[in-house]
Structure 1
Amino acid sequence: MKLRSYLFRGLGFLALSVGGIAVANAGTMPTIFGGVYTSKTKLPFTLLDLGTGNGSGKQTVTSPFTVSGETISFVGNSGVYSGSKTGIAASPFGTSDENYLVAEPKAFHANPSNVTITFQSPQTTFDLIWGSVSSDNVLSFKTSAGQTIDGRQIFDAIPQLDGKSLNAYVSIGSLAPFTTVVVTTKSPFEFNPSTPVPEPGSLLLLGTGLMGLGLVLRKRKTRG
């Protein structure tokens, strides 16, 4: 019974350590940095591998699908595209063989359309190539604060864009912890997110919690 008590105490310490992440980030304001993107730009993050296509348009990818710890679902005419299609999408890569995601607006088609990305573990950052930046493009993070980022904020944060609809690489940080982001738009929104990265703070707190659990068990063994 004593051993069980010690274990519960250790696990409780671990839970408090990890749970502290939400408290620490709940009141922060998002940070944004990035720059103009071209196919030769060296990115500070790793893009999600959506595969390659032949520039023939929308790919036959069933919703939802999972890649690198991200589950991606879409409705309407949103989905995975390849190459540039007149009146539909312009490849943010500038090539025809790289797949990317497109959120298509309802105004262009009869059905409501969006892209939803769900992560296996909470994130506080979101990195992506943002194709043809527009104030119509919106990222909605499902957090306690209901945080959103739109194209106007990207223009404000990245002076090199100079108010023009250029492709950009964007890193959004200091978000409240989220596991879901919904991409919506009033005009076509081409983008490719990065692979999820474990939060350094999360790993540190997790390690602290495990250390506390180890100390409790060691103390129990010494007393025994």
Structure 2
Amino acid sequence: MPGEAEAGALAGSLASPRFLRPVAPGPAETILWEGRPMLGAGRLLELLILLILLGLLTWVAVLLILPHFAGSAFAGRPGPEALPLILSLVVGTVVIIALPVWLRSSARGRARYMLTNRRALVWLGRNIIGEAILFGAEMEVTEAMVGFWTPGLYLDWRLKDERPDQLRFERLVDPEAVAAIAEAHGARRLRPPDEASS
């Protein structure tokens, strides 16, 4: 992540995000690199944690409903005809909470990354769900990720998380090679925090 001074300058310089979906590269744009996130232990761990959380959520929902089978003065004792309604409430609660998490995780796992001579793009199927203009972009490079900050950044909700908005190429085999291509087309590499503080 950038140092505090750079992060402050970055936050002040960014324009508000765009809401119109970007268009595919046209004849004036050259595709320089394409890649996908690696499937590995990290991805399997994410899926395992998601399944465990879903199991816990279902168990808690059932525990909350079980006492009501004994009945109450207000609602009476539920009969067998109430079981489908109760089950649909449990399933509905789990789906409402779990679906956005699953959609986000699934999108990040199936994403396709692309660098052109003008933009960094994240594709999901035939749609672009993330775009950053390379010229003037500030770029963070780690051992498995390249991230871009730029004015007019476009991010689908599935690419947003608790960190500052940034277009990320995650779980890359060779992030330095991707960063070198982006630098050659106008992106500026941010210094690591330990270098920025010295």
TM-score between the two structures when normalised by the length of structure 1: 0.26
Name the structure where strand makes up a greater proportion of residues. Answer: 1
TM-score between the two structures when normalised by the length of structure 2: 0.29
